[in-house]
Amino acid sequence: MNNICLFPGTFDPVTLGHTDIIDRALPLFDKLVIGIGRNVNKVPMFSDEQRLNWLREIYKENPKVEAVLYEGLTVNCCKQYNANFILRGIRYVNDFEYEKAIADMNRSLEDYIETIFLTCLPQYTSVASTLVRDVLKNGGDVSRFLPDAVNETIKQNGIGK
């Protein structure tokens, strides 16, 4: 059996915190599916297509990585891509409490799906998409928190500084 992992999130925008978790998880799995979840309760700053394009651009040289869009339950996305693992990044202790509750629910729904937590490196602890969006909306420079592909788009579209 292949070890396929789903890394779900909104990735709005993709940050260096996200790519750190992805890059460090790659040796652990045969395939990593990055699932951009569509949440009806959230209006993203960047389109689904834009976020998908960023991830595909960043990992275009890595055949182990696939980026997809999904709606609904994360466990259903796991089934669709034959993923038996869910990857989640942890920045702070309170992240763990929240993520553990989700992992427990997912495990209750599908007991073969195991959630794997990776802690982010210290330099990415404060890099959250929500904070990056706030800085962008207020004209700040977020370039040091974002991969080159994301910075290029932001620069081309005149977003932020």
pLDDT single digits (tens) 34-77 = 999 998 787 899 999 999 999 999 999 999 999 999 999 999 99
> Mean pLDDT across the stretch 9-17?
96
Q: What is the mean pLDDT of residues 7-20?
A: 96
> Residue 51 in contact with residue 18, Cβ under 8 Å?
no
**Is the overall model pTM greater than 0.85, yes or no?**
yes
pLDDT of residue 92: 86
What is the spatial distance between Cα 35 and Cα 78, in angstroms, rounded to a whole number? 9
* DSSP string across 122-155: GGGTT--HHHHHHHHHTT---GGGS-HHHHHHHH
Reported as a single tens digit per residue, the pLDDT across 67-126 is: 999 999 999 999 999 999 999 999 888 889 999 999 999 999 999 999 999 998 889 888
Provide the pLDDT confidence category of residue 157 given band limits of 50, 70 and 90.
confident
At 41 the pLDDT is 81
| CATH of the domain spanning 4-122 | 3.40.50.620
Domain positions in the chain are 4-122
Question: Which active-site residues does the annotation give?
Answer: 18, 42, 91, 129
Tokens for 33? 């599916």
